[in-house]
């Protein structure tokens, strides 16, 4: 039995969409919930005080980056990640597996772990399931991830090899998990775009009885149809009384489609990444504020938005900041974009509780116009 401190209560459902509460040592998470990404212990261009004002309740930080700089033992010595980054709410850390796969110039994977060179200075490092767990325990996040192998989603033969390795690593992570009363360990369902592998992964991990389950290896180049099909395959196999986390997915349509298929938790660096490129997220679609069409536009980024940016500044002013290369442009657009996704999660939760999620989702998606590139890349 897992400690009640990490209990998940399902409060309502509308089709597959769920509204619940996940209890953590640093407070409850009311789901669906979107987590801003603070890769290196900070959400880019946004202070913790701003995050509170935005309604953020969960922050993601990255094991790989914090291990390399400033070091997990240093963070532990300074009171853990909550104290270090001055965030009193729940924190989630990923295992570092995705970054080893995507960022390190040279990596070599074997059954014991991964040897890789740092993207910072080329130094050689070794990451194993046990080492990933030790780093995450030093960081002290409320939710931690099993070390997994994330690979290309299009090779069935290699995905089977990676899947079996991920399951063995999950067993080793579970054995190295020493403080279940302070940290909830999530297993990560892998298997690329292949239904048979995804079903096998879900059933294997559910048999290990984790406090929650993540779905990894999506938003890495597969089609939206593949993503939706995989979610429809996996979520019915996961326990109803455990939270479900879709890793690295964060566009407005992706959140809606994920919730419609039973997902509770999301994270993505997209809102702050596109902010740094002068773009804003709205329920009508992503808009590029740097475009000349907004030169004299007195309107806020999005009518009806309650964020600080929309309540005080015009599109014309934001375009001026962008073209003047002022840091304030990144700050204000990041505030809006994060609030857009946090507000969407709250609106979906309210719709589920009131039994109107299906109509809410259909109307919102009908009014949304997708930009050409909406892939959520790591920050």
Same domain assignment for residues 350 and 211: no
Active site (annotated) includes residue 267: yes
Host H or E run for residue 94: strand 91-94
Strand partners, 246: 215, 266
Among 316, 96, 112, 50, residue whose Cα is nearest residue 216? 96
In this prediction the pTM is 0.96
Instruction: Indicate if the pLDDT at residue 241 is higher than 80.
Output: yes
256 found inside a domain: yes
126 found inside a domain: yes
Domain that holds residue 354: 275-366
- Mind listing the pLDDT tens digit for each residue in 180-228? 999 999 999 999 999 999 999 999 999 999 999 999 999 999 999 999 9
Catalytic residue among 14, 50, 72, 267: 267
Same domain assignment for residues 295 and 179: no
Residue 83 maps to which CATH number?
Answer: 3.20.20.105
376 found inside a domain: no
Q: Predicted confidence band at 235 (pLDDT cuts at 50, 70, 90)? A: very high
Active site (annotated) includes residue 94: yes
Domain count of the fold of the chain? 2
Residue ending a domain, among 243, 268, 293, is: 268
- Mind listing the pLDDT tens digit for each residue in 79-135? 999 999 999 999 999 998 888 777 655 678 999 999 988 889 989 999 999 999 999
The pLDDT assigned to 374 comes to 44
Catalytic residue among 14, 72, 94, 264: 94
């Amino acid at each position: 039995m897992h400690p009640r401190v990490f209990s998940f209560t399902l409060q309502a459902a509308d089709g597959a969409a769920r509204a619940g509460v996940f209890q953590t040592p640093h407070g409850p998470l009311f789901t669906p919930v979107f987590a801003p990404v603070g890769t290196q212990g900070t959400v880019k261009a946004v202070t913790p005080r701003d995050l509170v004002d935005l309604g953020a309740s969960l922050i993601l930080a990255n094991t790989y980056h914090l291990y390399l700089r400033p070091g997990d033992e240093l963070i532990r010595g300074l009171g853990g990640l909550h104290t270090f980054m001055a965030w009193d709410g729940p924190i989630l850390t990923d295992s570092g597996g995705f970054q080893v796969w995507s960022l390190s110039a040279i990596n070599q994977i074997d059954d014991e772990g991964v040897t890789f060179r740092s993207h910072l200075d080329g130094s050689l490092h070794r990451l194993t399931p046990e080492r990933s767990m030790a780093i995450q325990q030093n960081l002290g996040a409320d939710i931690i991830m099993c070390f997994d192998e994330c690979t290309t989603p299009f090779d069935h033969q290699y995905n089977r090899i990676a899947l079996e390795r991920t399951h063995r690593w999950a067993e080793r992570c579970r054995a190295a998990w020493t403080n279940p009363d302070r940290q909830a360990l999530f297993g990560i369902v892998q298997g690329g775009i292949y239904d048979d592998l995804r079903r096998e992964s879900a059933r294997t991990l559910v048999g290990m009885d984790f406090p929650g389950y993540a779905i990894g290896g999506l938003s890495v180049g597969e089609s939206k149809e593949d993503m939706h099909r995989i979610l429809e395959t996996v979520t019915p196999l996961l326990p109803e009384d455990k939270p479900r986390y879709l890793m690295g997915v964060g566009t407005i349509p992706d959140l809606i489609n994920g919730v419609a298929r039973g997902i509770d938790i999301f994270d993505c660096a997209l809102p702050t990444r596109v902010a740094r490129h002068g773009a804003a997220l709205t329920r009508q679609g992503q808009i590029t504020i740097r475009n000349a069409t907004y030169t004299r536009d007195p309107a806020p980024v999005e009518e009806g938005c309650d964020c600080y940016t929309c309540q005080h500044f015009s599109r014309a002013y934001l375009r001026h900041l962008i073209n003047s290369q002022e840091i304030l442009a990144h700050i204000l657009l990041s505030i809006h974009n994060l609030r857009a996704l946090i507000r969407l999660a709250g609106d979906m939760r309210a719709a589920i509780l009131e039994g109107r999620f299906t109509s809410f989702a259909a109307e919102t998606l009908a009014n949304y116009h997708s930009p050409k590139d909406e892939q959520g890349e790591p920050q």
